[in-house]
């Protein structure tokens, strides 16, 4: 696999980072993350943070990064809470919504002016999400709104099968909720708004005037982070600190492989800069 670089050979004009599995894992920073971000800040290179996890809003991510010693601004963080609400405002502005979701997304929908209801007879959009309070009652409401009343469409915040935890564990994510609703209603999800949907990149980059060819997406998941970058025609970097492995990369079609595969995220800094700073692996 010599065509894949294992160390960056240049700086990019902007950097978009996944967080869990890339910058941190659980409540611990991953090796090299802090000094990489400090180097990018020193060079005044734009940094954005992106997450498919809708159980936290951007302010919660900002607070977590601060606890881990990472400085960031609120406008640098985009999550599926933000992008789902914005997508609904553009595409279903007058909808009554039933979110199969936790408080951050529900609160954001209400704050954005959406009517939230659990009455199947008036629901226009069912939003499937990563929901650790999911139960049969919620499934029945979604079923009735979509199958019995035949008025609601199904959309979802993200396609992740599970959320990774330290120690190799994980927790069922939004894909399980989507599958449950699709299985009983016979419907298909109309839109999955999170990564790998390029809408996430547009929201993350905002008004930055950069060519996507000079932006790198950095994330540990081939099916979301890297697929989104490939679909958008931009560079991608896969740190082997989260879900994906070299075997996973080898199994991909060459056209869908990441530009860079890194043992650790700070290998996004060219080796010459490592040597100049006398960095050591730690």
Q: What is the CA radius of gyration of the chain?
A: 19
Distance from C-alpha of 227 to C-alpha of 28, rounded to nearest angstrom: 26
Q: Tokens at residue 42, please? A: 């020193």
Other C-beta atoms lying within 10 Å of the C-beta of residue 270: 14
What is the per-residue pLDDT across 182-227, written as a single tens digit (0 to 9) for each? 999 999 999 999 999 988 888 788 778 888 889 999 999 998 899 9
Judged on CB neighbours under 10 Å (0-12, 13-18, 19+), 59 is exposed
Q: Hunting for tokens 């992008």 — which residue is that?
A: 83
CB of 37 within 8 A of CB of 47?
Answer: yes
Phi, then psi, of 239 in degrees rounded to 5: -80, 135
Tell me what the pLDDT averaged over the chain comes to: 92
What is the per-residue pLDDT across 3-48, written as a single tens digit (0 to 9) for each? 788 899 999 999 999 998 899 988 889 999 999 999 999 999 999 9
Please give the model's pTM, rounded to 2 decimal places.
Answer: 0.83
Residues in the chain: 282
Q: Tokens at residue 135, please? A: 């139960």
CA 138 to chain centre: 24
Q: Tokens at residue 183, please? A: 């299985």
CB of 268 within 8 A of CB of 261?
Answer: no
What is the per-residue pLDDT across 149-169, written as a single tens digit (0 to 9) for each? 999 999 999 998 988 777 778
Torsion angle of C-alpha atoms 203, 237, 282, 73, degrees rounded to 10: -10
Distance separating the N- and C-terminal Cα atoms of the chain = 26
Distance from C-alpha of 226 to C-alpha of 236, rounded to nearest angstrom: 6
């Amino acid at each position: 696999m010599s065509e894949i670089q294992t160390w960056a050979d240049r700086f990019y004009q902007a950097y978009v980072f996944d967080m869990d599995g890339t910058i941190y894992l659980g409540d611990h920073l991953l090796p090299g993350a802090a000094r990489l971000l400090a180097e990018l800040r020193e060079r005044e290179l734009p940094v954005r943070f992106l997450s498919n996890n809708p159980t936290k809003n951007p302010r919660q991510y900002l607070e977590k990064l601060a606890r881990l010693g990472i400085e960031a601004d609120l406008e640098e963080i985009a999550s599926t809470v933000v992008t789902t609400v914005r997508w609904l405002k553009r595409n279903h502005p007058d909808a009554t919504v039933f979110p199969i979701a936790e408080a951050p997304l529900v609160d954001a929908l209400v704050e954005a002016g959406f009517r939230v209801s659990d009455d199947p007879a008036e629901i226009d959009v069912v939003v499937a999400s990563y929901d650790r309070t999911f139960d049969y009652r919620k499934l029945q409401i979604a079923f009735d709104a979509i199958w019995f009343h035949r008025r609601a469409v199904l959309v979802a915040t993200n396609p992740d099968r599970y959320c990774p935890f330290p120690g190799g564990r994980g927790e069922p994510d939004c894909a399980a909720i989507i599958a449950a609703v699709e299985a009983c209603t016979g419907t298909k999800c109309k839109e999955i708004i999170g990564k790998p949907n390029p809408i996430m990149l547009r929201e993350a980059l905002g008004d930055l005037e950069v060519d996507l060819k000079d932006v790198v997406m950095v994330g540990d998941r081939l099916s979301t982070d890297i697929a989104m970058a490939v679909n958008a025609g931009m560079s991608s970097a896969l740190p082997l600190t989260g879900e994906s492995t070299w075997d996973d990369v080898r199994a991909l079609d060459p056209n869908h492989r990441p530009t860079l595969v890194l043992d650790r995220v700070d290998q996004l800094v060219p080796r010459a800069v490592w040597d100049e700073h006398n960095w050591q692996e730690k």
